[in-house]
A and B are shown apart, each in its own frame.
Chain A
C-alpha cells in the first residue's frame, strides 16, 4: 500500500454572492505519494476553487482536508501558512514572481522563510535547482526581465525549494506556447520520475492530461471520474 499524501473528505463549497450557488459538491479523493495527477473539466466546473481549498489558502468550505494524514481543517491562519511553506509548492498559471527581487531571491524566499537551513545552504540549493531547470544563467536577473517560460521555470524552482510533499499547479502551462508548455511538462514529469515528487495539476490541455499517470475529471462541481 502506498502512502496517502493528500485526502479530500466530502468537501463542499458554496458562494453566497449574490445568491447561494453550490460550486463544489461532495468531493472525495486521495492522492498517493509519488503520483502525478491531473484535474480536468470544463471551464467553470470548480477546478481552481478546489485547488485553492486543497492548497489551504481557502478555508471557507465544508468537509475535511488532510495533508500528510494531518487534518488541516480548523487550523489557524499562521499554522496553515507554515504548512504551505513546508509541505506545498504552488505553481500558478500566471507566473507570480516578486518583481522587486532577482530570480534567485524569488526561489530562495520560501526557503529563508522556513529557516531550516542557513542562507548559504538555501542559496546553494536554489542554484542547484535552477541549474536543473537550466535557468541558472538567469539567477541574478530581475524577475520582470524574464520571458514567460523562464518565469514559469523560476516558479517551479521556487515551489521545489523546501522539498514539498506535493506540488499543486493551476494550469501552469496555460499561458505558454507549445514549445514552452512541453519544456514545463517535461520538467514536471522528470520530477515525478526522478524524485518521486507528488503532483496535482489542474489543466485544460487534454494532451497534457493524457500524459499524466492519473486523471481526475470534474463536471459541475463533482468528480465524475478518477
Chain B
C-alpha cells in the first residue's frame, strides 16, 4: 500500500532516536566487518598454505614401491588349498625402483589430452661427506625446465639460478638448511657418496627453501642426467613420473587408470594430501562460526533496541492506530526501521571489512618458510561479501520481526485509557 508514507514515518522515528539507531547499526557494521575480514584472511591463509603443497605436488605420481607380492606363490599353488599359510618374514623380490619402459610410458602420457605436463624424476639416497662426518640426504634428479614450468621449482630456489642445474655440468642445488650444515657456499664443491659407495664431487649453484625446514635439511637437486651418472644408470632410468593434469579433480580417476595401464604404483594428490584439505575445512568452519556468532549478537542488539523503541513509542503506535493505521502498517513501519539498520550497518560493514582486509594485506609478512609471500595473504572473494550481507539481512529480519509483530498487536484502547 502506501510504502512511501510508511518509509517516511519509519525515517522520522529513526531520526528521533538517532543515537540508539547508530548504536544498533554499528553492532551490525562491526560484525560484518569482522566476518568479511576474518573469512578473507583465513581463506587467504588457506590458499597460501594449500598452494605451498599443491604447487609442487604432482596430481598423479607413478612409481614402483618395493613390497612383497600380494599373491605369494604358495597361495597360488593348488597343492595347499584349504591349508593355513603361516610362513612369516617374507622378503620382497629383487625389486627395482625403476619404472620399466619409461620412454614408452612418457610418450603415452604426453599424448593424453587430460595431461598438462609431465616431469620425470630420480630419487636416490646419498651421503654428503663433511670432513669425517656423513650426512644422510636425498638427491632428486629433475628435468629442470619441466619442473619450473609445472611445479614452480624456480620459486623455491632463493639463491642462484635454477637453470644452472641444466647448463653447468655436475652441479647441485642444496636445501638451505643442508647447505648451512655443510658450510657450502655457492661455487663450492661438495662430496657425496651413493649407496653403491661411489664418490662424486658436485658444484653448488644454488640454495632452495621449500618452507618446510625438515625437508630443506635433507634434500638436494641435480639434473636428471647428473643423477643417472651418479648411479651409473642409462638414460631411460627414472624412478618417478610426476604428472600435472588440466583438472585436478580428475586425479583419482587418472591415477587408477594409469595403475592398471602401466602396471605401476600410482598416487593421486587428494589421497597424498588429505590432511591439508581437513585443515582448510576446519579453518573455514571456525571463521564461519565466529562470523555468524558475531552476527547473532548484533541481531540481539537490534532486537533489544527495537523492543526499547517500541516500549517508548507505545503512544505513537496507539495514535497511529486510532487515526486509521492497521496493525500491519505499524508492523511494516518497525520492519522498515529494522531493515534500514541492517542494510546501512551491513553495507558499512562490507566497506570497513574491505578496508580492514586491505590494511592487513599491507602488513609485511616475511618468513623464511614462504619466500614468495611478502605481506599477509587476503582472499577478496566477492562470495564472502555476499554471504556477509545476506546474513546481516536475515539476522536483522528476524531481530526486527518479533518486536515489529508486537508493535502491530498493541491495543490502542489500553494505551489511551492508561494515560
Contacts and interface: CB of A to CB of B under 8 A. Distances in A.
A101 B9 CA distance: 9
Contact of A58 (B2, B316, B413, B419): B413
Contact of B319 (A86, A98, A114): A98
A21 interface: no
Interface string B1-36: 110010001001101100000000000000000000
A57 B13 contact: no
A183 B2 CA distance: 35
Interface string A150-163: 00000000100010
Interface residues of A, number: 29
A97 B321 CA distance: 12
Contact of B322 (A90, A100, A101): A90
B324 A84 contact: yes
A165 to B, nearest CB: 13
A100 B16 contact: yes
B315 interface: yes
B328 A78 contact: yes
Contacts of B13: 100
B323 A113 contact: yes
A81 interface: yes
A101 B5 contact: no
A164 to B, nearest CB: 10
Contact of A81 (B15, B319, B324): B324
Among B327, B416, B417, which residue has the most Cβ atoms of chain A within 10 A? B416
Contacts of B321: 57, 81
Interface string A39-62: 000000000100010010110000
Interface residues of B, number: 27
Nearest to A158: B323
Interface string B370-407: 00000000000000000000000000000000000000
Contacts of A57: 321-322, 412-413, 416
Contacts of B293: none
Given A57-B413, A114-B324, A81 B329 contact: yes
B18 to A, nearest CB: 11
Given A98-B319, A112-B2, A77 B12 contact: no
B5 to A, nearest CB: 5
B416 A92 contact: yes
A98 B322 contact: no
A85 B323 contact: yes
A63 interface: no
B366 interface: no
Contact of A85 (B315, B324, B417): B324
Among B16, B324, B326, B417, which residue has the most Cβ atoms of chain A within 10 A? B324
A115 interface: yes
B12 A101 contact: yes
A113 B2 contact: yes
Contacts of A110: 323-324
Interface in B306-355: 315-316, 318-329
| B interface, over-half SS | helix
Contacts, number: 73
B322 A113 contact: no
A98 B316 contact: yes
Contacts of B329: 81, 113
Contacts of A100: 12-13, 15-16, 316
Nearest to B319: A96
A114 B326 CA distance: 12
A149 to B, nearest CB: 18
A101 to B, nearest CB: 6
A94 interface: yes
A96 B326 contact: no
Contacts of B419: 94
Nearest to A164: B324
A155 to B, nearest CB: 9
B323 A109 contact: yes
A39 to B, nearest CB: 16
A124 interface: no
Contacts of A77: 326-327
A141 interface: no
B324 A86 contact: yes
A158 B319 CA distance: 11
Interface in A7-40: none
A96 B315 contact: yes
B328 A113 contact: no
A78 B330 CA distance: 11
Interface string A87-99: 0001010101111
A82 interface: yes
B416 to A, nearest CB: 6
Nearest to B318: A96
Contacts of B417: 48, 52
Contacts of B326: 77-78, 81-82
Interface in B66-120: none
B415 to A, nearest CB: 9
Given A52-B413, A112-B5, A158-B323, 4 more contacts: A55-B322, A57-B416, A85-B324, A101-B12
Interface of B: 1-2, 5, 9, 12-13, 15-16, 315-316, 318-329, 412-413, 416-417, 419
6 contacts: A57-B412, A57-B416, A77-B327, A78-B326, A78-B327, A81-B329
- Nearest first, the 10 A-B pairs at minimum CB distance are A85-B324, A81-B326, A78-B326, A100-B12, A100-B16, A110-B323, A84-B324, A96-B319, A52-B413, A112-B5
